[in-house]
């Protein structure tokens, strides 16, 4: 992997070591002789990948000549005020320099593949302009212009074919960046993107249809015993219980056995991430639960990093008060236990006065009086910098969701990434996800969407949309996504109001009506999708892209020449244990589980694997291809700084 050297992170995240490959070592030494600082080693993350990192500050003296070469060969000029793009140019030219030197060291008998990501495609452009013998792949994870257009709340997908892209980019002062991205798109031997919905976007905005779709995967380690994830869910849920007890101190009337935790999380892009749809759906769900009765309460979290001053005093006080009450009760419990044991040992049956003395009562009364609170539980856990104009808080006020006792949906806005060191929710994000019951991500603009995928691998059902890459992927690979706990809202062909109704009534309300046994069975099915989302399976798409790049540049290096499918598909059938009646009808069971059955712990399997090999129908070209000859594969990853 080739990237940018950021000393702040390199010191902690990179194990420095010299390259083992002689050609690579010679290439790095030649660049160092020209006073370019190059760091090589291994990145201390999953997979332990080898990295080559360039310190851009060591190349600033070459910027003027390189920017002129870029303008002379491509006609793309860089504004003087855009320092980010200047750094992109430096990185691109250093990458092209590195690949050129490496090409010369390897000789003509090797194939080198450069895989470039996002709009940082200057390295790809210069490799083609300088006619370096490199097979190039360019992957866009989201078009630059698409991000800007959606941030402006335009009707994006209904006007994709109507945008005047040059004018739109110029109006947003990103025309030079747009030109770099579009030039890289058309210069690459193979152009790819991460999802079908992003492929449509790229076709209209970048004017080239992607050759292949490369879905994003996750590194998954299923080392736990069967159903261990259910036990981990219970442990994480108890930690969320502890936070909820403190957050609603003075107004705690929740039956935690009948409380469901739902959440939305991601970058604070109010409309793009579907936060507006989420809050409105929760408002409508609150009304339906009030009218329908029942004991179910929903605690809905919003995890979006925003500008804050500090923690909310009431939130901190609630956690402190409940902690003190818990410690007091634990002391009294131990004291009562000793007395009970001693009296029983003497053959005496204790009464209430012998167990609970006056000091105990006084201590309990002090804690209970401290637990009183006249104001409503806070909505937000922090003090917002601009509370009055925050879009989430404004919509919550409009929906009158203030965590009153009568509300069956309680909202908690946590404007900060989760951390185990937090004095409020002492959990990291992965553990928090595992403890929730449902993730809700009704995104409007989401080229892929890791959040629902992260829910799936932990066995947590989720709501997504057909405007997200993950939603499109699941629609095309699952015969019945809802049976596997993947609920997909139609936001592409329906207006916002039908989406509100469908989310609140058909998905959220139906989920609230499910019994505990039904939720456990659904989690079993959802967790089985983790194998489906693992890089060990999805990596074949990247193999296809590299083979296609070789086929277009050096077909003689392939053992056989075969056709390349733009998208492979492995379609999972409906689970065997799914109800035989139409799942979409959502008719409640005429014989719901009684309270005793509902409180049982179901550890047995639901008898449905859902991922048997015999159930898979594969049309992937990878399964039909023999491996290519050994190549020196250099992947230029320009999407992140190490």
The string of pLDDT tens digits covering residues 167-217 is 999 999 999 999 999 999 999 999 999 999 999 999 999 999 999 999 999
- pLDDT confidence of residue 223: 46
Residue-wise pLDDT for 392-423, tens only, equals 999 999 999 999 999 999 999 999 999 999 99
Going by C-alpha positions, the residue among 274, 282, 320, 284 that lies closest to residue 299 is 282
Asked if the model's pLDDT at residue 604 lies above 70, the reply is no
The two structure tokens encoding residue 355: 């167990």
The token pair at 306 is 């925003």
pLDDT, position 631: 36
How many angstroms separate the CA atoms of 508 and 501, rounded?
Answer: 10
- Taking the C-alpha atoms of residue 270 and residue 616, their distance in angstroms, rounded to an integer, is 38
Q: In what order do the strands lie in the sheet with 486-489?
A: 409-414, 297-303, 259-265, 438-440, 462-465, 486-489
pLDDT at 597 over 50: no
What does the pLDDT average to over 112-121?
A: 90
Which backbone phi and psi does 394 adopt, to 5 degrees?
-65, -45
pLDDT tens digits for range 342-392: 888 888 888 877 788 888 888 888 888 877 878 899 999 999 999 999 999
Whole-structure pTM value: 0.84
| Mean pLDDT value across residues 436-453 | 96
Please tell me the total number of residues recorded for the chain in this structure.
642
The residue ranking higher by pLDDT, 515 or 369, is 515
Label the pairing between strands 462-465 and 486-489. parallel
**pLDDT (mean) for 294-306:** 95
Task: List residues bridging with 259 in a β-sheet.
Answer: 297
Distances (CA, A) of 525 to 93, 483, 514, 534, 583: 48, 8, 15, 16, 15
- Residue 496 has what pLDDT? 82
Q: What angle separates helix 122-129 from helix 83-106, to the nearest 10 degrees?
A: 50
* Model confidence at 629: pLDDT above 60: no
Position 388 scores a pLDDT of 94
For the chain, the average pLDDT equals: 86
> Tens digits of per-residue pLDDT, 91-109?
999 999 999 999 999 988 8
Quickly tell me which residue has 């399976």 as its tokens.
Answer: 537
Coil, strand or helix at 214: coil
- The pLDDT of residue 588 is above 90: no
What's the Cα-to-Cα distance from 244 to each of 82, 106, 203, 221, 239, rounded to whole Å? Answer: 46, 61, 47, 31, 9
Q: Can you tell me which residue has the tokens 């236990």?
A: 337
d(CA 624, CA 612): 20
The pLDDT of residue 634 is 40
Average pLDDT over residues 264-291: 95
State the Cα–Cα distance between residues 445 and 151, nearest whole angstrom. 9
Sign of torsion over alpha carbons 534, 535, 536, 539: positive
Residue 138's nearest CA partner among 152, 125, 151, 147 is: 125
Encoding tokens for residue 259?
A: 């409380």
Reported as a pLDDT band with limits 50, 70 and 90, residue 632 is: very low
- 298's tokens: 């929903």
Looking at residue 369, its pLDDT comes to 83
Provide the pLDDT for residue 372. 80
Report pLDDT for 368. 82
The span from the CA of 378 to the CA of 388, in Å, is: 15
Among the residue ranges 35-44, 277-286, 291-300, 619-628, the one predicted with the least confidence is 619-628
- 574 falls in which pLDDT band (50, 70, 90)? confident
* Helices 63-74 and 83-106, axial angle in degrees (round to 10): 80
Which residue, chain included where needed, has tokens 């809700």?
440
Q: What span, in angstroms and rounded, lies between the C-alpha atoms of 161 and 201?
A: 9
List pLDDT tens digits, range 451-460.
999 999 999 9
Indicate the DSSP class of residue 534. B
């Amino acid at each position: 992997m080739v990237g940018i050297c950021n000393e702040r992170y390199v010191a902690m995240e990179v194990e420095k070591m010299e390259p083992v490959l002689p050609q690579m070592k010679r290439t790095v030494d030649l660049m160092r002789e020209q006073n370019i600082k190059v760091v090589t080693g291994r990145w201390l993350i999953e997979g332990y990948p080898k990295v080559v990192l360039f310190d851009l500050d060591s190349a600033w003296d070459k910027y003027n000549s390189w920017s002129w070469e870029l303008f002379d060969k491509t006609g793309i000029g860089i504004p003087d005020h855009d320092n980010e793009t200047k750094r992109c140019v430096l990185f691109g030219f250093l990458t092209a320099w590195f690949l050129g030197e490496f090409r010369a060291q390897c000789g003509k008998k090797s194939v080198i593949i450069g895989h470039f990501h996002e709009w940082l495609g200057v390295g790809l452009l210069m490799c083609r302009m300088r006619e370096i013998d490199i097979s190039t792949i360019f992957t866009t994870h989201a078009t630059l212009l698409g991000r800007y257009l959606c941030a402006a709340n335009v009707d994006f997908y209904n006007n994709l074919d109507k945008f005047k892209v040059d004018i739109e980019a110029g109006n947003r002062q990103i025309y030079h960046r747009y030109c770099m991205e579009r030039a890289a798109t058309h210069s690459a031997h193979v152009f790819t993107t991460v999802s079908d919905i992003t492929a449509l976007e790229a076709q209209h905005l970048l004017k080239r249809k992607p050759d292949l779709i490369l879905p994003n995967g996750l590194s998954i380690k299923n080392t736990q015993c069967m159903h261990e994830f259910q036990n981990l869910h219970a442990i994480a849920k108890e930690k969320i219980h502890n936070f909820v007890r403190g957050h609603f101190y003075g107004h705690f009337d929740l039956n935690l056995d009948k409380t469901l935790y739902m959440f939305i999380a991601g970058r604070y892009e109010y409309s793009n991430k579907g936060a507006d749809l989420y809050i409105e759906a929760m408002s409508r769900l609150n009304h339906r639960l009030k009218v329908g009765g029942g004991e179910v309460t929903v605690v809905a979290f919003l995890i979006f990093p925003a500008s804050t001053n500090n923690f909310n005093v009431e939130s901190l006080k609630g956690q402190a008060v409940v902690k003190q009450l818990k410690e007091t009760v634990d002391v009294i419990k131990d004291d009562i236990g000793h007395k009970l044991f001693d009296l029983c040992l003497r053959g005496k049956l204790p009464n209430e006065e012998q167990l609970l003395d006056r000091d105990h009562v006084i201590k309990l009364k002090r804690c209970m009086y401290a637990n009183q609170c006249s104001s409503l539980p806070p909505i937000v856990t922090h003090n917002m910098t601009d509370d009055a104009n925050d879009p989430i808080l404004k919509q919550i006020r409009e929906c009158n969701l203030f965590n009153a006792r009568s509300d069956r949906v309680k909202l908690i806005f946590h404007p900060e990434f989760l951390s185990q060191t937090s004095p409020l929710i002492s959990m990291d994000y992965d553990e928090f996800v595992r403890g929730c019951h449902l993730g809700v991500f009704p995104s409007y603009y989401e080229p892929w969407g890791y959040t629902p995928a992260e829910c799936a691998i932990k066995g947590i059902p989720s709501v997504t949309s057909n405007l997200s890459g993950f939603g499109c992927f699941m629609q095309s690979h699952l015969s019945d996504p809802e049976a596997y706990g993947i609920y997909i809202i139609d936001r592409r062909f329906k207006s916002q109001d039908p989406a509100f109704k469908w989310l609140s009534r058909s998905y959220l309300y139906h989920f609230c009506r499910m019994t505990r046994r039904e939720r456990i069975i659904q989690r079993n099915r959802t967790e089985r999708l983790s194998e489906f989302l693992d890089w060990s399976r999805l990596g074949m798409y990247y193999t296809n892209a590299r083979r296609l790049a070789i086929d277009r540049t050096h077909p003689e290096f392939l053992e056989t020449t075969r056709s390349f499918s733009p998208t492979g598909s492995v379609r999972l059938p409906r689970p065997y244990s799914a109800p035989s009646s139409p799942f979409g009808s959502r008719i409640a069971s005429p014989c719901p589980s009684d309270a005793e059955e509902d409180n049982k712990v179901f550890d047995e399997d639901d008898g449905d694997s859902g991922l048997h090999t015999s159930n898979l129908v594969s049309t992937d070209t990878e399964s039909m291809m023999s491996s290519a000859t050994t190549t020196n594969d250099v992947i230029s990853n320009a999407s992140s700084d190490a």
